[in-house]
Amino acid sequence: MLAPVDSTLATVPTFHALSDIYTSDLLKHAARFQLLTEAFIATYGFKPSFIVRAPGRVNIIGEHIDYCGFPVFPMAIVPDSLIAVRASRERRIRLANINPKYPSREFSCEPGSSVTINNSTHDWTNYFKCGYKGAIEAIDCTNPQGMECLMDGSVPSSAGLSSSSAIVCCAVLATMKVNDRLLPKSDVVETAVASERYIGTNGGGMDQTTSIMSQSQSAVFIEFNPELKITPVKFPSTDPQITFVIANTLVVSDKAVTAPVCYNLRVVETRIGALILAKHLGIANRAACKDIDPLTFKVVMDEYFSTQDTAGSDDVQVWIDHLDAMLHASIEAFGAHPDGYTREQMATALDMTPDALSAAVHEDRFPVRAQQFKLLQRAQHAFSEALRVVKFRQICESGDTRINYCSALGDLMNCSQDSCRDLFECSCPEIDELCALARRSGSFGSRLTGAGWGGCTVHLVLKDKVGSFIAAIKREFYAKHVPNMNDEALSDAIFVTTPGNGAAFYMFD
């Protein structure tokens, strides 16, 4: 594999031209920025000092494994969150949204005041508050500057394209810039990841890393352990060219609202799985496993093979060998409970009380509800999905013209969807229906993207087939499920995307 590009030490760039941010549809973007600027003046009486933007993302492959410590393969998309910002002498943070269905809010930023985030109320400004609170803590700001902010977002909400993380990233960046403490990208990512946990979602970092670190025309291979590494990866050159189509099932799945029985439950299942697997492998008492919180499947795998000499070995083959071994080990460790564990059974396996186990995986901050915890299935998905990510990158970078890239990459995406549906159980009937229809309509690979349980799907389609593919999905899926959708809504529901730029500041001349 190529050495990762260390872009983590750079700061988020500042541009004066939209052509440095977007590569197409510049008139459309210019009109949007102008509308936001005029709305800001109408709201606050002054022109904004800058606009911060952070894109959504589509995960091509590597679902639910960032919080297991494994690499993922997403790319930034063109839809993004924008926040127009102006520093204020008032000790207030004033928040407004260009969409009138989202109410305006404000809160104090007096020295010593605390930011209250009410997770029981699903309010759009909670995501801004998370980012603001995290940024103030990260820069150790005791005398924060007041701000006036106006937001506009084009990332569909609750669709698996990370609209919430885009808001959090914007809030972090806006707060740092107004207070004149802009940190390197790696620190911004770390801050945004920690900030979003204030909303009650125990995420792994893929969304924020993609939004901050992405580069135009490249997906990103993101490694989290032992440290954050970003490697831009271009898709293979084919004729016709590979493209990706995003199609929204329109099934709303809000990650924060459903967390105790969906997203956070899966995190807890993998965390407990890592604890039990480490004990099964006889490494639980090693410092690398005992002194880390959280313990992840990636840490367990690395520690188990830590004494193996891999000098001179092919990196990809090492990954494959290690992940294959962990797949077999997980069957040995969890196979006696194919239908899942009770809390008591998990605690017994770890020589703990159920209360101690709950504390070990931080259920006080991220509560979950389940009768059975399916550790075998979750481990099988995590290790096999990581293997698919490694192989996906290997194919993209191979340069081997004998490979049928569309079939090879598409097969990995289809296997990922099967695993998400059958082992991780984060699909839903509409996702399954849409993916099956897409494959019949010309997609080489179709899968859910994002947390799942609804939201969006992503499809690998050749460029010359995009028109007929989209027409078929509109005719056979959207006309069936939402027959009264207008053309504008349909265009927002299904669209072609290319790898976009990461976060940026737009400064006025």
Backbone phi, psi, residue 312, to 5°: 80, -5
87 CB-near residues (< 8 Å, 6+ apart) = 49, 145, 146, 147, 178
DSSP string spanning 35-91? HHHHHHHHHHSS--SEEEEEEEEEEEE-TT-GGGT--BEEEEEEEEEEEEEEEESSS
Handedness of CA 153, 158, 160, 164 (dihedral sign): positive
Residue 398 CA: distances (Å) to CA of 233, 234, 393, 403, 475: 11, 11, 8, 9, 37
- Among left, alpha and beta (phi > 0; psi -120 to 50; other), residue 450 is left
DSSP string spanning 234-290? PPPP-SSPEEEEEEE------TTTSTTTTHHHHHHHHHHHHHHHHHHTT-TTSHHHH
The Cα–Cα gap between 381 and 361 comes to: 20
Whether residue 232 contacts residue 218, with contact meaning beta carbons closer than 8 Å, is answered with yes
- 207 as an active site residue: the answer is yes
In 3D space, the residue among 336, 323, 320 whose CA is nearest the CA of residue 276 turns out to be 336
309 CB-near residues (< 8 Å, 6+ apart) = none
**Active-site residue, from 66, 80, 207, 254:** 207
Report the interhelical angle of 263-280 vs 315-334 (nearest 10°): 90
The catalytic site residues sit at: 207
